[in-house]
Amino acid sequence: MTSTYDHRALEAKWQARWQETGLDEVDLVGARKPYYNLMMFPYPSAEGLHVGNMFAFSGADAHGRFERMRGFDVFEPIGFDAFGIHSENFALKVGRHPRELIATNVTRFREQLMRLGAQFDWSKTVDTTDPAYYRWTQWLFLTLWKGGFAYRARRNVKWCPQDLTVLADEQVLADGTCERCGAQVTERELEQWFLRITAFTERLLANLDGLDWSENTKLLQRHWIGRSQGALIDFPIEGKAPLRVFSTRPDTIFGATFMVLAPDHQRTLELTAPAVQATVAEFIEEAARRRISGQRGDESSTQGVALGSDAINPLTGKPIPIFPSDYVLSGYGTGAIMAVPAHDQRDHSFALQHHLPEIEVVSGNDSPGPHGGTGALINSAQFNGLKAPEPAREVITAALVEAGFGQAHITYKLRDWGISRQRYWGCPIPAIHCPTCGVVPVPEKDLPVLLPYIEDFRPLGTGESPLARDPEFFRTTCPQCGGDARRDTDVSDTFLDSSWYYLRYPSADRDDVPFDPALTRKWLPVTYYDGGNEHAVLHLLYSRFVTMALEQLGYLDFDEPFTQFRAHGMIVMGGAKMSKSRGNVVVPDEYIARFGADAFRLYLLYLGPYPETLNFVDTGINGPHRFIIQVLRLLDQVEAESMATPEPANLARARHRCIRQVTVDTPERKYNTAIAAMMIFVKRLREHDGPVPKAALETLALLLAPYCPHLAEEIWERLGGAYSVHQQPWPDADESLIEDDEVVVVICINGKKRDQILVPAGTDAETLEHSALALPRIQQWLEGRKPERIFVIPDRQVNLVLPG
RNA sequence: GCCAGCAUGGCGGAAUGGCAGACGCGGCGGUCUCAAAAACCGUUGAGCGCAAGCUCGUGUGGGUUCGACUCCCACUGCUGGCACCA
**Region A740-801: CATH code:** 3.10.20.590
Question: Measuring CA to CA, which residue among A433, A495, A502, A441 is closest to residue A468?
Answer: A433
A679 touches strand B (CB under 7 A): yes
Specify the pLDDT at position A474.
Answer: 95
CA–C1' span, A466 to B70, in Å? Answer: 60
More confident residue, A455 or A463: A455
CA–C1' span, A747 to B51, in Å? Answer: 23
Say whether the peptide bond before residue A357 is cis (omega within 30 degrees of 0).
Answer: no
CA–C1' span, A753 to B56, in Å? Answer: 15
* Model confidence at A622: pLDDT above 60: yes
A459 pLDDT tier (thresholds 50, 70, 90):
confident
pLDDT, mean over chain A: 91
A572 pLDDT tier (thresholds 50, 70, 90):
confident
* Model confidence at A103: pLDDT above 90: yes
A744 touches strand B (CB under 7 A): yes
* Model confidence at A70: pLDDT above 50: yes
**Region A588-737: CATH code:** 1.10.730.10
* A107-143: pLDDT as tens digits: 999 999 999 999 999 999 999 999 999 999 999 999 9
Residue whose Cα is closest to the C1' of B82: A223
Mean pLDDT, residues A361-380: 70
A228 touches strand B (CB under 7 A): yes
Strands A528-532 and A564-568: parallel
Strands A427-428 and A73-75: unpaired
Nearest DNA or RNA nucleotide to A335 (CA to C1'): B86
Nucleotides of B under 7 A from a protein CB: 3-5, 11-16, 18-20, 22-26, 38-41, 54-56, 66-68, 78-82, 84-86
Range among A287-301, A374-388, A475-489 rated most confident? A475-489
Question: Measuring CA to CA, which residue among A268, A272, A304 is closest to residue A286?
Answer: A304
Lowest mean pLDDT among A358-362, A615-619, A670-674: A615-619
CA–C1' span, A753 to B20, in Å? Answer: 13
Q: Where are the domains of chain A?
A: 228-411, 588-737, 740-801
A368 pLDDT tier (thresholds 50, 70, 90):
very low
By the 10 Å C-beta count (0-12 exposed, 13-18 middle, 19+ buried), A608 is classed as: middle
What percentage of chain A exceeds 90 in pLDDT? 68
- CB of A529 closer than 8 Å to CB of A505: no
Number of other CB atoms surrounding residue A62 within 10 Å: 25
Q: What is the CA radius of gyration of chain A?
A: 34
Q: What are phi and psi of A696, to 5 degrees?
A: -60, -45
- CB of A431 closer than 8 Å to CB of A442: yes
| CATH topology agreement for domains A588-737 and A740-801 | no
User: Which residues, 6 or more positions from A56, have their beta carbon under 8 angstroms from its beta carbon?
Assistant: A39, A40, A530, A531, A532, A568
CA–C1' span, A658 to B44, in Å? Answer: 27
What percentage of chain A exceeds 70 in pLDDT? 96
CA–C1' span, A525 to B2, in Å? Answer: 35
CA–C1' span, A578 to B12, in Å? Answer: 17
CA–C1' span, A13 to B35, in Å? Answer: 37
Nearest DNA or RNA nucleotide to A301 (CA to C1'): B84
Mean pLDDT, residues A389-413: 92
Mean pLDDT, residues A713-728: 95
Residue A267 three-state SS: coil
CA–C1' span, A125 to B22, in Å? Answer: 42
CA neighbours closer than 13 Å in the CB half-sphere of residue A333: 24
Residues 235-294 of A with CB under 7 A from strand B: 245-249, 262
- CB of A485 closer than 8 Å to CB of A476: yes
Residues 380-409 of A with CB under 7 A from strand B: none
A658 pLDDT tier (thresholds 50, 70, 90):
very high
Quick one: CA dihedral A169, A171, A177, A181, positive or negative?
A: negative
CATH architecture for residues A228-411 = Alpha-Beta Complex (3.90)
A507 pLDDT tier (thresholds 50, 70, 90):
very high
A348 touches strand B (CB under 7 A): no
A224 touches strand B (CB under 7 A): yes
CA–C1' span, A793 to B73, in Å? Answer: 30
Specify the pLDDT at position A1.
Answer: 37
CA–C1' span, A623 to B32, in Å? Answer: 22
ipTM: 0.95
A371 pLDDT tier (thresholds 50, 70, 90):
low
Q: What are phi and psi of A385, to 5 degrees?
A: 95, -20
CA–C1' span, A756 to B63, in Å? Answer: 31
Specify the pLDDT at position A633.
Answer: 93
A754 touches strand B (CB under 7 A): yes
* Model confidence at A702: pLDDT above 90: yes
Specify the pLDDT at position A782.
Answer: 83
Specify the pLDDT at position A189.
Answer: 84
Specify the pLDDT at position A528.
Answer: 97
Strands A319-324 and A212-213: unpaired
A586 touches strand B (CB under 7 A): no
CA–C1' span, A769 to B53, in Å? Answer: 24
Lowest mean pLDDT among A20-34, A62-76, A351-365, A463-477: A351-365
Number of other CB atoms surrounding residue A740 within 10 Å: 12
Task: State the Cα–Cα distance between residues A210 and A206, nearest whole angstrom.
Answer: 8
A582 pLDDT tier (thresholds 50, 70, 90):
low
Specify the pLDDT at position A156.
Answer: 81
Task: State the Cα–Cα distance between residues A211 and A567, nearest whole angstrom.
Answer: 14
Segments in A553-621 forming alpha helices (H): 588-595, 597-606
Nearest DNA or RNA nucleotide to A533 (CA to C1'): B80
Mean pLDDT, residues A659-670: 96
Residue whose Cα is closest to the C1' of B67: A751
- CB of A359 closer than 8 Å to CB of A347: no
A574 touches strand B (CB under 7 A): no
Specify the pLDDT at position A137.
Answer: 98
Cα-Cα-Cα-Cα dihedral of A155, A156, A161, A166, to 10°? -60
Nearest DNA or RNA nucleotide to A296 (CA to C1'): B84
A789 touches strand B (CB under 7 A): yes
Mean pLDDT, residues A25-50: 94
CA–C1' span, A687 to B42, in Å? Answer: 14
Specify the pLDDT at position A366.
Answer: 46
Question: Measuring CA to CA, which residue among A774, A756, A753, A772 is closest to residue A764?
Answer: A772
A752 touches strand B (CB under 7 A): yes
CA–C1' span, A683 to B41, in Å? Answer: 14
Mean pLDDT, residues A519-545: 95
